[in-house]
């Protein structure tokens, strides 16, 4: 959908709302925190541009998050990626009630060691928060599952991308972001809603 020297944006399998994108660094890495400052700034620049575009197209607040799990072979997707989607889910608030976190100015301030893990959330106001988490796969917080539960526009069971790939919402994302048209009606945000 968009790219720069350091990252590319793709509609994601399991897009439970139209406009759900992954920003994927061009350098192979387990988490964004293992990238250089220059690469992180490139990821952040692309994410910022996409956030603005998603807001213009869908007229909804935008949420982004990353689970920076730095444990090889502990994830279904072994390449770092940032989720960006139109959503009202208060993921940052949910995490703050369970895990200590702190506000950061940019992704260059996430924990950088290969033996540390974290979750980042850029909420609908643009505030970026980092939540350090154990460098362990168990217990693992399923962020997509939490977002699905917190956003009333998303069916609770839609979070598992393997069980619910939503190819029609991936196609809708491509169409919506490559053509100019009016904002999508609120009802069309429900997972699986007809276009």
From CA 17, how far away is CA 188, in angstroms rounded? Answer: 8
Give pLDDT, residue 74: 58
Nearest Cα to Cα of residue 107 among 61, 65, 142: 65
Question: Encoding tokens for residue 84?
Answer: 């960006």
- Residues with Cβ within 8 Å of residue 143, at least 6 apart in sequence: 65, 67, 83, 91, 119
The answer to whether 78 and 70 are in contact (CB under 8 A) is no
Give pLDDT, residue 114: 80
From CA 156, how far away is CA 158, in angstroms rounded? Answer: 6
What pLDDT tens digit does each residue of the chain (195 aa) get?
Answer: 999 999 999 999 999 999 999 999 999 999 999 999 999 999 999 999 999 999 999 999 999 999 998 876 656 666 899 999 999 999 999 999 999 999 999 999 999 888 889 999 999 999 999 999 988 766 678 899 999 999 998 888 888 888 889 999 999 999 999 985 555 555 455 554 433
Cα first-last separation, the chain: 20
81-96, pLDDT tens digit by residue?
Answer: 999 999 999 999 999 9
Q: Which residue has the tokens 């990626």?
A: 81
Q: What is the edge-to-edge ordering of all strands in the sheet holding 128-133? A: 2-3, 7-11, 21-25, 82-86, 62-68, 117-122, 128-133, 102-104
Give this prediction's pTM: 0.88
Give pLDDT, residue 134: 87
């Amino acid at each position: 959908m968009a790219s720069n020297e350091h990252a590319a944006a793709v509609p994601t399998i399991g897009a439970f709302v139209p406009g759900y994108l992954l920003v994927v660094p061009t350098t192979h890495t387990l988490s964004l925190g293992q990238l250089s400052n220059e690469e992180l700034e490139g990821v952040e620049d692309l994410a910022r541009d996409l956030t603005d575009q998603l807001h213009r197209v869908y007229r909804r607040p935008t949420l982004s998050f990353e689970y920076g799990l730095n444990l090889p072979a502990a994830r279904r997707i072994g390449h770092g990626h940032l989720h960006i989607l139109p959503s009202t889910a208060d993921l940052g608030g949910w995490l703050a009630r369970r895990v200590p976190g702190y506000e950061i100015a940019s992704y260059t301030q996430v924990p950088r060691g290969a033996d540390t893990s974290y979750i980042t959330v850029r909420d609908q106001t643009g505030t970026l928060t980092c939540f350090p988490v154990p460098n362990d796969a168990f217990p693992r917080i399923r962020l997509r599952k939490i977002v699905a539960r917190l956003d009333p526009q998303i069916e609770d069971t839609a979070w598992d991308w393997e069980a619910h790939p939503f190819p029609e919402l991936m196609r809708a994302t491509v169409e919506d972001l490559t053509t100019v048209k009016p904002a999508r009606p609120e009802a069309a945000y429900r997972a699986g809603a007809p276009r």
